[in-house]
Amino acid sequence: MRKNRRIAALAMAAVLAGAMTGCQSKPADTTTAATEAATEAATEAATEAAGTYTPGTYSATVTGMKEMTVTVTFDADAITDIQLEHEETPGIGVPVCDTMPGQIIELQGLGIDAVSGATLTSNAILEGVADCVEQAGGDVEALKAVKPEVVKEADEELTADVVVIGAGGAGMAAAVTANQAGKSVIVIEKTASMGGNTALAGGALNAVDEGSEEALARDDSVEFHYQQTYEGGDEQGDPELVRKLVTEAYDGVEWLMDLGMEFQPGLFTVTGGMWERAHKPVEPEGSGFFKTYQAYMDEHDGITMKYETTAKHLIMEDGVVTGVECEGKTGNKVTVTANNGVVLATGGFGRNVEMREKYNEETKLWPTLDESIPSTNTTAITGDGIIMAEEVGAQLVQMGNIQLLPLGDPETGSLSGNIEHAVESRIFVNKEGNRFVNEGGRRDEMTLALFEQPDTLMYIIMDSDGYPTGDEVNNFNETINDLVAAGRAYKADTLEELAEQIGVPAENLVATVEEYNRHCLGGDLEGQPDEFGRTLFTDTAQENDGINDAPYYAAARVPTVHHTMGGVKINVNTEVIDTEGNVIPGLYAAGEVTGGIHGSNRLGGNALTDTVVFGRTAGENAAAFER
Ligand code: ADP
């Protein structure tokens, strides 16, 4: 009875809230649960006057990209305030933290969809509020049934000089460049914010400033960057495209700096990057790029962002691509026409399981890429641009070249929660507590070996070298202390305790670490190389002498789909090439949607370079294209 009373009062509150906000949002009278609740409200409200909630303020701690505290205030009938304490990612999670609490209060309901591209943050907020509702004695299920009303908007027809599809790194570089050439630009973006996978990237951008002191000190040159990129991709990349990537990389850095983007001093080697030539932005992850592009748009007219608009088909007239047909947020049709060119920059297909499986069949690189294998990508990265380009006759190249990393979070596939800080000072063990691979090897070799392990899962094992306080942050701005507190990493004073926490046989873990330490300390190794061929044992910067300084740390990791190197074939002008080898007039492509640059294996730090170099060319050439 008490429960019914709550639902009854809740439905009344929702109806009232709808009335008060001019019905901008109203309860979901389309769902059975809400309808039943509303009926009960009508019959019971007259006789019952008890409140929906126990008034007060309640808190819950949840995990988005990082730990978040959600504090909700209730009066007897309504949610009156929601406060968040969070450290979500600027440009991705932060906009959701800014808007979603207001939406929940306005709706007096929890039936709000997660924002595409920021699902972790969205779900954390919804979960935190639900927890507080429960604490206040409210009915979470009834609140989830309260959904915003969707009113289909009118169809739209828009025109600009240049149309860019996808507001990730490549698309935004193209949009800004086309605008710098004096053109009006419309950017079509599926999600509610710019960023794409680029915003989630570690931020490293490989570029050689040929002849500079920094390059000379590292024996680096554009030619060496070329060799490492080409050979690192097993010589499968198109030499002309690789040459362009490395030759124009530093111009790209200078262009970004001219736009106001700040980089940290010095250079570093990113995992899988092979050489100390990565520039690291001051802002975390890829957010600096989007802050820079946004600042440009704040100062210059002519770039219109069409968010929550999904490109569906390219429009072709007399063999020329002239625009794109899209679907708006409410299912309405949005037709966008370009006076000049169209740039395709929709990213890869890491989140399209069907495409992953289909193209993995071609190379059989991976035992499986079905839905059990997560991805580091945002949910929007589903190969749409590749499908659209194929519809107008584009040639697809090297689609089976799909890069996985062995470092995915078991829940989300994200690279967040990674506890390693240097290749030299960590080992990987399987569920039996045994090492199984050279942890300093290629990304693909490590991941393939991980596929062979029980439950396709491993633990990174570290000691406290490099974590003197535990407050040092990883690429995702997470400290190891945060991760341990959130149950995403383990910490123990002895290896035996650590083994118990992660459920591996203690004697195996101890023996594994002892053997590894023997190599680190360099003792008694004559004629006894590491059984997996590992050569990186000591990291002088970290004064690493093996895994022997308590506390010890562990974190579980699984294979995760990271980058799809195949895609639409382009030439050095970023013109899209058809199956006959001819240019498709009016259509340009840049970024992960394209194929044939990185070959079988993309070097760490080359993806951001790709977005800037090819994005700029696509923007420039689409601006210059005349029908
Ligand atoms: P790149 O690194 O190549 O720039 P990103 O992953 O950073 O790729 O960006 C791709 C962008 O394209 C993302 O913001 C994604 O949401 C967007 N996108 C993907 N498919 C579509 C589509 N059909 N319509 C509009 N935008 C799309």
Q: What is the pLDDT of residues 482-535, one digit of tens each?
A: 999 999 999 999 999 999 999 999 999 999 999 998 888 775 566 678 889 887
Provide the pLDDT for residue 440: 82
CA distance to 19, 96, 102, 190, 515, per residue, from 99 (Å): 21, 5, 6, 18, 53
* C-alpha to C-alpha distance for 473 and 424, rounded to whole angstroms: 18
End-to-end CA distance of the chain: 71
Give me the residues paired with residue 141 across strands.
none
* C-alpha to C-alpha distance for 89 and 66, rounded to whole angstroms: 9
| Mean pLDDT on 12-26 | 36
* C-alpha to C-alpha distance for 103 and 232, rounded to whole angstroms: 48
Separation of CA 280 and ligand 1 centre (Å): 23
| Mean pLDDT on 421-434 | 89
Q: Helix (H, G, I), strand (E, B), or coil: what is residue 185?
A: strand
Residue bearing the CA closest to ligand 1, atom 20: 346
pLDDT level of residue 21 (50, 70, 90 thresholds): very low
Backbone dihedral angles phi then psi of residue 224, each to the nearest 5 degrees = -70, -40
| Mean pLDDT on 136-159 | 94
* C-alpha to C-alpha distance for 321 and 484, rounded to whole angstroms: 52
pLDDT over threshold 90, residue 447: yes
Give me the residues paired with residue 321 across strands.
316
| Pairing verdict, β 310-317 and 402-408 | unpaired
* C-alpha to C-alpha distance for 166 and 618, rounded to whole angstroms: 13
The DSSP line for 401-420 is -EEEEEEE-TTT--STT---
pLDDT over threshold 60, residue 329: yes
Catalytic site positions = 443
The answer to which of 188-192, 213-217, 316-320, 536-540 has the lowest mean pLDDT is: 536-540
Q: Helix (H, G, I), strand (E, B), or coil: what is residue 366?
A: coil
| Pairing verdict, β 342-344 and 162-165 | parallel
The atom number, within ligand 1, closest to the CA of 608 reads 2
* C-alpha to C-alpha distance for 604 and 271, rounded to whole angstroms: 6
Q: What is the pTM (predicted TM-score) of this model? A: 0.81
The atom number, within ligand 1, closest to the CA of 194 reads 14
pLDDT over threshold 50, residue 19: no
pLDDT level of residue 420 (50, 70, 90 thresholds): confident
| Mean pLDDT on 117-126 | 89
Percent of residues, the chain, with pLDDT higher than 70: 90
Separation of CA 381 and ligand 1 centre (Å): 6
Provide the pLDDT for residue 142: 95
Give me the residues paired with residue 83 across strands.
71
The residue among 148 and 5 whose pLDDT is bigger is 148
Separation of CA 231 and ligand 1 centre (Å): 28
List the one residue out of 286, 278, 300, 292 whose CA is nearest residue 347.
286
Give me the residues paired with residue 145 across strands.
none
| Mean pLDDT on 354-376 | 95
* C-alpha to C-alpha distance for 459 and 555, rounded to whole angstroms: 5
Task: Quote the mean pLDDT of the chain.
Answer: 89
The atom number, within ligand 1, closest to the CA of 607 reads 2
Q: CB 535: neighbour CB atoms within 10 A?
A: 11
Residue bearing the CA closest to ligand 1, atom 8: 347
The atom number, within ligand 1, closest to the CA of 173 reads 4
| Pairing verdict, β 342-344 and 396-397 | unpaired
Q: Helix (H, G, I), strand (E, B), or coil: what is residue 275?
A: coil
List the one residue out of 360, 529, 533 whose CA is nearest residue 445.
533
* C-alpha to C-alpha distance for 475 and 486, rounded to whole angstroms: 17
pLDDT level of residue 536 (50, 70, 90 thresholds): confident
The atom number, within ligand 1, closest to the CA of 346 reads 12
Tokens of 57: 């303020």
Provide the pLDDT for residue 7: 35
* C-alpha to C-alpha distance for 351 and 376, rounded to whole angstroms: 9
pLDDT over threshold 60, residue 539: no
| Pairing verdict, β 567-568 and 490-492 | unpaired
Provide the pLDDT for residue 595: 98
Tokens of 543: 């004064």
| Mean pLDDT on 532-559 | 82
pLDDT level of residue 422 (50, 70, 90 thresholds): confident
Separation of CA 418 and ligand 1 centre (Å): 25
The model's pLDDT over 395-410, given as tens digits with 9 standing for 90+, comes to 999 999 999 999 999 9
Choose the residue to mutate in 189, 376, 597 for probing ligand 1, maximizing ligand atoms within 8 Å of C-beta. 189
Q: Give the H/E segment covering residue 224.
A: helix 222-232
Choose the residue to mutate in 285, 313, 381 for probing ligand 1, maximizing ligand atoms within 8 Å of C-beta. 381
* C-alpha to C-alpha distance for 303 and 594, rounded to whole angstroms: 24
Q: Helix (H, G, I), strand (E, B), or coil: what is residue 473?
A: strand
pLDDT level of residue 46 (50, 70, 90 thresholds): very low
The model's pLDDT over 154-194, given as tens digits with 9 standing for 90+, comes to 999 999 999 999 999 999 999 999 999 999 999 999 999 99
Separation of CA 347 and ligand 1 centre (Å): 5
Separation of CA 161 and ligand 1 centre (Å): 20
pLDDT level of residue 421 (50, 70, 90 thresholds): confident
Helix 2-20 / helix 32-44 crossing angle, nearest 10 deg: 100
The residue among 264 and 475 whose pLDDT is bigger is 264
The DSSP line for 40-77 is HHHHHTTT----SS--EEEEEEEESSSEEEEEEEE-SS
Tokens of 290: 């989007």
- Over the range 580-613, which residues count as b (16 or more CB within 10 Å of their CB) and which as e? eeeebbbbbbbbbbbbbbbbbbbbbbbbbbbbbb
Q: Which residues are near ligand 1 (CB < 6 Å)? A: 165-171, 188-191, 195-198, 310-311, 345-347, 380-381, 384, 591-593, 611
Provide the pLDDT for residue 169: 98
